[in-house]
Structure formats: C-alpha cells, structure tokens
Amino acid sequence: MISITSFLLWAEHVVFTLVILWAVQTAFLHGLGGLVGQLLRFLKLTVPGVDSLIKSTLQNEVQGFINQVKSDPSRTSGQTQAAAKRIVVIPRTGIPPAELLKEMNAMKEREVAVMEEGKIFAYVYTQENDKLEQVQLEAFNLYTEQPQLSTHHDKLVLEAHHAFLHENALSPMVFPSLRKFETEVISMSANMLHGDGHVVGSLTSGGTESILMAVKTYRDRARKLFPHIKVPNMVAPVTIHPAFVKAAHYFGLELVTVAVDQRSQRPDMAEYEQAITAQTIVLLASAPQYCHGVVDPIPEISEIAVRRGLPLHVDACVGGYMLPWVEKLGYQVPEFDFRLPGVTSMSADLHKYGYTFKVVFSNAGALR
C-alpha cells in the first residue's frame, strides 16, 4: 500500500512538472493568448466534461433564443393552432401601446446600463464627454468644430433620424433630400481621405456591407478583365475583419491570409507578396485592424499593388473617421488613404467615429 501511494505521489509530481514546463514553453513561444488557446484545446481533448460543458453552454444560448420567440401564453387569448404550438403569432388583441412601450423600455434599460459601463468592445461609440479618452475628445471637437457640444450632438443625430424615418432611399427622385445628403457625405468623406475629384462612393448599412460591395465590385471587374480566372483570391493579413470571410463565401472567392508578427501584429512584406498568385484580383489591408488597433504597413502594400498592377482595398471602418483628425491634431499617423497611389478603395464607418447611428446613413464606401 505504502509503495503504491508514494508511486502515485511521484507520478503526480512528474505530471505536474511536465505541465508547468509545457505551459512555460507555450507561453514563451506563443504568448499568453497562445497558452490560453492551447490550454482550452488540451482540456477539450482530454477532459471529457469540458467539451460537453461548452456544448451545453451553446445549447442553453440557443434554448434562450427559442424561449424568446415562443409566445407568451398570457397574450394569446384565442387558442389558434400556432399558439398551441407556442410559436409567435400576431395576437388576436393587440397589446396597449403604453404597456408595449413599458416592456420595451425595460428591456432597453438593461442594455443601456451595460453600454454605460463603457465596457462594450467595438459595438458602441459614445459621444458623451466623460466616456471619451482625451485624444478621442480632441478629435471629436475638431471633427464637429463644436467643442463641448457632444451631448447636443447625440440629440441632433436623434432628431435628424426621426425627421427622415419614413423616407426611402430607394428612390432619389421621390426623395431628393436623401440624394443630396448621400452625395455630400460621400464627397466630404472622400476629401477627408485625400481622394481627388475621381473618387466616388455610396452609403451602405455598415462596414460589412461596404466590404461586401467592394469585394463584389472587384470580382465583377476581374470577371470582365480576366475571364480565365476561375477561382479569384484576395490576399490579406490574418488580422483582416471577418466581413471579408463572408464576402469570399458569398461571392465565390478565396481569402488567402498572411500571418502577422506576434510582437508588431503586422505581416512580413516578403510573405505578403509571396502569397500573391496569378488568381489574385485584389490586395487587402486595415487602418487599423479591429483586433489590436494596429495600422497595417499600407505604404509598403500600396507599393506592391502598384508594382504588381493590383487594386488595394483599405478597410478603414474603425479608423476612417478617426485617423484623419488624430493626424490633424499633430499625432503621427502612417499614410493609409488615397494619398497612396496603390489605394483604390476604402471602407469607413460613420456609425463608429463619425458618431452617427447604424443602419440608415452609417457608412461611406469610396472607390476611385
């Protein structure tokens, strides 16, 4: 008995030492993020409970959604067949407006409270002074030329939104005001990004749609100019936004990603260029990329684009309405826009540092 116990202790000690050695080595080679990732993969593979724990967490989320769309039995007075199956149906008797608003506001309040903690990554861009970093505030004031008006700005945005709530941008002939707004916003944005008189663009529902439109445009261009390319591809640092993965999936392209250096989070230029093939139809870069806020080496990528005769899309969704103003404040900003001869299109989100709202007029995609 004694020998078995000491053997187990010894084995435990050996395993423990090996785990520590492995952890130190992984952290050294792949950084802390790499260690956490490896650890999760290791746990998933070796501890049977972990995989099912992740699965059941996901299942709980899905069940939550299902419960949300199931009808509230107290509301469906008439027992239709659909109500019996507990799916959402148009209720026989409507909910009184006051009650409806109360319920909606209660739901909203919970979400606003989370936003106001200022801890929502990438979803919400506030204009309230006390929530802004100093440089953000300075850039905002320069951008609006209305120092200390940021809370008024929010009200103004809301009023403008309400005033045009029912207009339909589908017809610029019926709603010429929308055409005027779009043309002016695109023109100002192109100018802000140092585009010349040939830069054109359009407003979309957000960064993702701007990216989709740019990729579709390059695919259609390639179909016309290079009909022999059957599966076109685009080359990007691995830190490119997932919207490009969606675009590749929707429009039948391949996304070729280039690894980034663990320290600088930028791709190696030789590797980037080596990834280009005869099927490459567009190069991609971000200013900055959304994962670490690092601006890709766009002057170098622009140089490759010019030399290889390829277009270059710069995803400035998060930086488009921020970097130009930060630069005006005197901070050093690497060139990322239409000043560079290789840059042929850009996406920039008005609903981020343009401080508008998402959906209607939220994005400017400019193409030269």
Ligand X SMILES: *Cc1c(COP(=O)(O)O)cnc(C)c1O
Interface residue list for ligand X (CB under 6 A): 206-208, 241, 243, 286, 289-290, 315, 317-318, 349
* Buried/exposed code over 26-53 (b: 16+ C-beta within 10 A; e: otherwise): beeeeeeeebeebeeeeeeeeeeeeeee
* C-beta closer to ligand X: residue 43 or 294: 294
Query: Cα separation of 285 and 297, whole Å?
Result: 8
As measured in angstroms, the least distance from the Cβ of 46 to ligand X is: 36
- One-letter amino acid of 144: T
Least distance in Å: CB of 115 to ligand X? 16
Nearer to ligand X, 217 or 289 (CB): 289
Residue closer to ligand X, measured from CB, 76 or 352? 352
Question: Which has the closest alpha carbon to 276: 251, 296, 258, 302?
Answer: 258
Residue number, nearest CB to ligand X: 207
> 312 phi and psi, to 5 degrees?
-135, 120
Considering beta carbons, is residue 290 or 361 the nearer one to ligand X? Answer: 290
DSSP SS3 for 315: strand
Strands (E) in 226-276, as ranges, are: 233-237, 254-258
CB of 209 to ligand X, least distance (A): 7
DSSP three-state, residue 338 = coil
CA-nearest of 276, 273, 286 to 232 is 276
The least distance separating ligand X from the CB of residue 243, rounded to whole angstroms, comes to 5
Please say which residue, 83 or 132, places its beta carbon nearer to ligand X: 132
At its nearest, how many Å lie between ligand X and the CB of residue 284?
10
* Beta carbon of residue 346, minimum distance to ligand X (angstroms, whole number): 11
Nearer Cβ to ligand X (219/351): 351
- Please list, in sequence order, all residues whose beta carbon lies within 8 angstroms of the beta carbon of residue 361, skipping any fewer than 6 positions away: 181, 182, 185, 203, 350
